[in-house]
Structure 1
Amino acid sequence: MRVLVIGGGVIGLLSAYQLADAGLEVQVLDQGDVGREASWAGGGIVSPLYPWRYSPAVTALAHWSQDFYPQLGERLLAESGIDPEVHVTGLYWLDLEDEDEALAWAKREGRPLTAVDIQSVYRAVPPLGPGFSHAVYMPGVANVRNPRLLKSLREALQRMPNVTLLENAKATGFVREAERVVGVSTESGELRADRVVVAAGAWSGGLLASLGLQLPVKPMKGEMILFKCAEDFLPRMVLAKGRYAIPRRDGHILVGSTLEDVGFDKTPTQEALDSLRASAIELLPALADAEVVKHWAGLRPGSPEGIPYIGPVPGFEGLWLNCGHFRNGLVLAPASCQLLADLLLGREPIIDPAPYAPAVRGGSL
């Protein structure tokens, strides 16, 4: 079976990796360089920011992925020589307004989230700013260094003889024979396949519109800043008022993020930089004297309730989706791509696929 994956972010690359690992011939098509959009721009926390606020559909994917990430990191390091740096630090949520709901969710789901004494937080995270009064903590939460994850995936795919990466090649529409989708058209001609998987992030809706399908996935801008600190400056991830600080192993600290509905404009703004820097200094006052190494923006694939579309599209034989992950593409990628591969290959799915199944009603998905 030949499969064409449209989109070279973490969802597209990991989908290709899973399918190629099962022996399929896979091509990955990206309108730019692979791994340079939302997947590259995110923070890489291997958890939804507030997991108890999401639907069970998101929770099911998140739990499977969180448990799988450490072994994925080890496997990719072995196969590519590039370490994605899956870094288990744990995560403190500070001054939550819905702490009771968070703890009830954790008890119901069997996740190790507990209320902790604030003084123990200040002992564990010495640079934390003053004034916080209560906290909850989950010890096993990791972050992945997403640019390295994408480089590792790209390298692993390039070493597979049944994978072809086609970069800077834009899909402009679909090739159809009767009711079946048999490929895509590009500026350089047609590419044909037995299955076409749309994993184009925020661009998925525009591509599917060429088939008369309306997919409620749209770009949602987010901005981040990166500081350089000592390697041992921040031992744990911390999150307060919707803003978070993530330590990398080498001392870099990511602080994010903003959320704006401004179409496909991903120009970083001074307003966002000032807002993020203020949040960073409130969380970690020593960052007032730290160098801002970089400031950037990316476009998340916004979708209703953040529930991705995973599976075949009814009435369009050969067309499959794995898109619409909103803020949680990196979090949900391992489970989403495993589920896609299970369904496409006719295997027993890792979780119930029903919540993610695309359904066409009046031209809308």
Structure 2
Amino acid sequence: MTSTSDITLIGGGIIGLMTARELLAAGASVTILERGLIGQESSWAGGGILLPLYPWRQSDAITRLVVQSLQLYPALASRLKAGSGLDPEWTPCGLLITKNPDVTAAVNWCRTNNIRHEPAGPQFFDRFDTEPDHPLWLPDIAQVRNPRLVKSLKQDLLNQGADIREHCEITGLVLVGNRITAIKTASGHLPVRQLVLTAGAWTGRLFRQLIPELSAAAPSIAPVKGQMLLFEARPDTLPYMVLDGDQYLIPRRDGRILAGSTVERADFDKNPSPEARERLLEFAFRLMPSLKPFPLIHHWAGVRPGTEHGIPYIDRHPDIVNLSINAGHFRNGLAMGPASAQLMADLILNRPPKVDPEPYRLSSPH
């Protein structure tokens, strides 16, 4: 007879995987249900910069999770590499931000949050064709290679005894009073003790489908499409990440360079478009003409979990006693992931939270 896990998570992206790992570390048993393959949605499609774009222009609620995550990432990456045998390629290569018309706000944010920063001198611009405006160099900002992070998290969880079920279609819930007692799947009922929704852009829609009687209180999470390109460049082509306007280039350790990204309201459409390809090519070749000889080897799209202000929902449900939600991270699931997982586990396990939970309540504006 199969035992019932302490905690079941619906959604196997970065947020679900990190939350499961945090709960496992506290001694809970976990099951992850994923309708497709683990981490193949927004988690796989993103760029991996571990800082929001222009964080000083965003809510302090985002900053709090990002700064806490920055402190957690080095040890997390090291433990994942040791535990899974797969390197997530956490790489503190630094970030050049070429245009900062609000440089005073930028510098104040960096100082307040102990982010090393300095003006970027002319030596940074030999390879770029752009008009710098109070450029800043943030030498400690890191990236992860998100597909490899997903793989290492999955393997680490399996090694620790997590029950991961892919291609698991959820068809309903059994709700008795104010408690969920089972999940209905295509292969039968699965008893649950605690349930966490970590389904990214699909969380709001899934909530309304599974709990129609509370659909008016579903978290407001909308799909936001993003498209990216990948170039087969050499390892010495670009040594650090660069943000120019609203787009960026990210160099991987093997030399490949990502160019991103678009922000499109396109429902759940994940088809790459020729128009976006041309826009991103134009950006990449204009900013860095030396990219032109290198082959474009991939163009893809993903769907981000958008909220109005980019603030995620991380909360226990006020009416269903054994339901929690950790979703709605928009473009910053990787940057906020470790602290979001930690906060979710703190709330479920009644631990003192490391981050004030109030801004992430289901009842708070997002």
TM-score by length of 1: 0.94
Q: For the Cα contact (< 8 Å) 2:312–2:329, is it kept in 1?
A: yes
Partner of 1:159: 159
Instruction: Tell me by how many angstroms 1:352 deviates.
Output: 0.8
Partner of 1:176: 175
Instruction: Tell me by how many angstroms 1:110 deviates.
Output: 3.2
Identity %: 43
Q: For the Cα contact (< 8 Å) 2:200–2:328, is it kept in 1?
A: yes
Q: For the Cα contact (< 8 Å) 2:101–2:134, is it kept in 1?
A: no
Instruction: Tell me by how many angstroms 1:98 deviates.
Output: 2.0
Partner of 1:326: 330
Partner of 1:138: 138
Q: For the Cα contact (< 8 Å) 1:226–1:292, is it kept in 2?
A: yes
Q: For the Cα contact (< 8 Å) 1:84–1:149, is it kept in 2?
A: yes
Partner of 2:103: 99
Aligned mates of 1:88, 1:239 — CA distance in 2: 15
Partner of 1:217: 221
Aligned mates of 2:260, 2:171 — CA distance in 1: 33
Q: For the Cα contact (< 8 Å) 2:174–2:181, is it kept in 1?
A: yes
Partner of 1:120: 123
Partner of 1:187: 186
Instruction: Tell me by how many angstroms 1:346 deviates.
Output: 1.4
Residue aligned with 2:254, SS: coil
Aligned mates of 1:155, 1:221 — CA distance in 2: 28
Say what the alpha-carbon RMSD is for the aligned residues. Answer: 1.6
Q: 2:231 aligns with which of 209, 227, 231?
A: 227
Specify whether residues 218 and 133 from structure 1 end up closer, same or farther in structure 2 by C-alpha distance, changes over 3 A only.
Answer: closer
Instruction: Tell me by how many angstroms 1:100 deviates.
Output: 2.4
Structure 1 segments of 4 or more deviating over 4 A? none
Aligned mates of 1:107, 1:26 — CA distance in 2: 39
Instruction: Tell me by how many angstroms 1:288 deviates.
Output: 1.5
Residue aligned with 2:355, SS: coil
Partner of 1:202: 201
Partner of 2:149: 149
Gaps of 5+ in 2: none
Residue aligned with 1:82, SS: coil
- 1:218-297 map, 5 Å: 218-297=222-301
Aligned mates of 1:308, 1:85 — CA distance in 2: 25
1:76 aligns with 2:87: no
Q: For the Cα contact (< 8 Å) 1:313–1:359, is it kept in 2?
A: no
Instruction: Tell me by how many angstroms 1:184 deviates.
Output: 1.9
Q: For the Cα contact (< 8 Å) 2:101–2:133, is it kept in 1?
A: no
Bigger Cα displacement from structure 2, 171-180 vs 76-85: 171-180
Aligned mates of 2:234, 2:146 — CA distance in 1: 20
Aligned mates of 1:107, 1:86 — CA distance in 2: 24
Q: Deviations over 1:109-143 (max 9, x none)?
A: 332233232x1323xxx422254354111111000
Name the amino acid aligned to 2:181: V
Name the amino acid aligned to 1:172: T
Aligned mates of 2:318, 2:167 — CA distance in 1: 30
Instruction: Tell me by how many angstroms 1:328 deviates.
Output: 0.3
Name the amino acid aligned to 1:348: P
Residue aligned with 1:87, SS: coil
Name the amino acid aligned to 1:165: I
Bigger Cα displacement from structure 2, 33-42 vs 280-289: 280-289
Residue aligned with 1:184, SS: strand
Q: Deviations over 1:328-353 (max 9, x none)?
A: 00110000001111111111111111
Aligned mates of 1:133, 1:100 — CA distance in 2: 12
Greater strand share, 1 or 2?
A: 1
Q: Deviations over 1:9-53 (max 9, x none)?
A: 000011111111222111000010101000000000000011111
Gaps of 5+ in 1: none
Aligned mates of 2:49, 2:182 — CA distance in 1: 35
Instruction: Tell me by how many angstroms 1:108 deviates.
Output: 3.2
